[in-house]
Chain A
């Protein structure tokens, strides 16, 4: 019997999966991918099919790794990134974290460019990089931001 807690901060992906299994549709075998965050002592796993959008995923990741970030601004920065691409330049230039993923081709891509469903299909692994390291990773995204501002 699982201990039920009000806060889902440390709840494992497997526990959440068990609770929501009734709500899942069709041929859902789960889509578990590893999530690493630069500087964290261990990896986690998430089931991407548990979420319906980027903001939902970013919320879950922020909670998962909140104990490893120094101060709350890092996880806030990651949420901002999902919500608002103008924040991307600020995030990349600061010490905040940037979510990236390895796709089916083995390429490391910036999270958020493609429609959610397409992302779930192609994401094999997530890595939350420190902003400075991600600068070389997403030249297209930086171009997009320059054009907007």
Chain B
């Protein structure tokens, strides 16, 4: 059964994507930027800017792009688009070590258990 990956952005309705439709990070970012109306802003590699992160099977929040693409596809559970303000906010709040962010939990779209 095909599973879809949820994509969240604060203030926007969530989207679901079939991650296997993309073959690399560029295609993924381009499509997500288009869907959420932030074209071009996910490509930027500036320090301050919109960030694409994901929650993996170990419940860690990582920056999208570090892993080989196939590895990413295997372990991604959900994706989040963070605004510059959110990134800054999370940096300030994260003083208590490896933070478990309150809004971190992502439900799987195949109705799986937590």
Contacts and interface: CB of A to CB of B under 8 A. Distances in A.
Contacts of B65: 12-15
B68 A30 contact: yes
A11 B45 CA distance: 7
B62 A40 contact: no
Nearest to A12: B65
Interface of A: 1, 3, 5, 9-15, 17, 30, 32, 34, 36, 38-46, 66-68, 127, 129-130, 133
Interface residues of B, number: 28
10 contacts: A11-B45, A13-B67, A14-B67, A30-B68, A32-B67, A39-B94, A41-B86, A42-B90, A43-B61, A66-B47
Contacts of B95: 38-39
A146 B82 CA distance: 45
A60 to B, nearest CB: 12
Interface of B: 25-26, 43, 45-48, 51, 53, 60-63, 65-69, 71, 82, 86-87, 90-91, 94-95, 97-98
Contact of B69 (A14, A36, A39): A14
A10 B45 contact: yes
B61 A41 contact: yes
Given A3-B45, A34-B60, A67-B47, A42 B66 contact: no
A133 B97 contact: yes
A3 to B, nearest CB: 7
A40 B94 contact: yes
Contacts of B68: 14, 17, 30, 32
Nearest to B60: A43
Given A14-B65, A41-B51, 13 more contacts: A12-B65, A12-B66, A13-B65, A14-B25, A14-B67, A32-B71, A39-B95, A40-B91, A41-B94, A42-B61, A45-B67, A66-B47, A67-B48
A65 to B, nearest CB: 10
A44 B66 CA distance: 7
A5 B60 CA distance: 28
A130 B71 CA distance: 30
Contacts of B47: 9-10, 66-67
Contacts of B25: 12, 14
Contact of B63 (A15, A38, A42): A42
A41 B43 contact: no
Nearest to A39: B94
Nearest to A47: B66
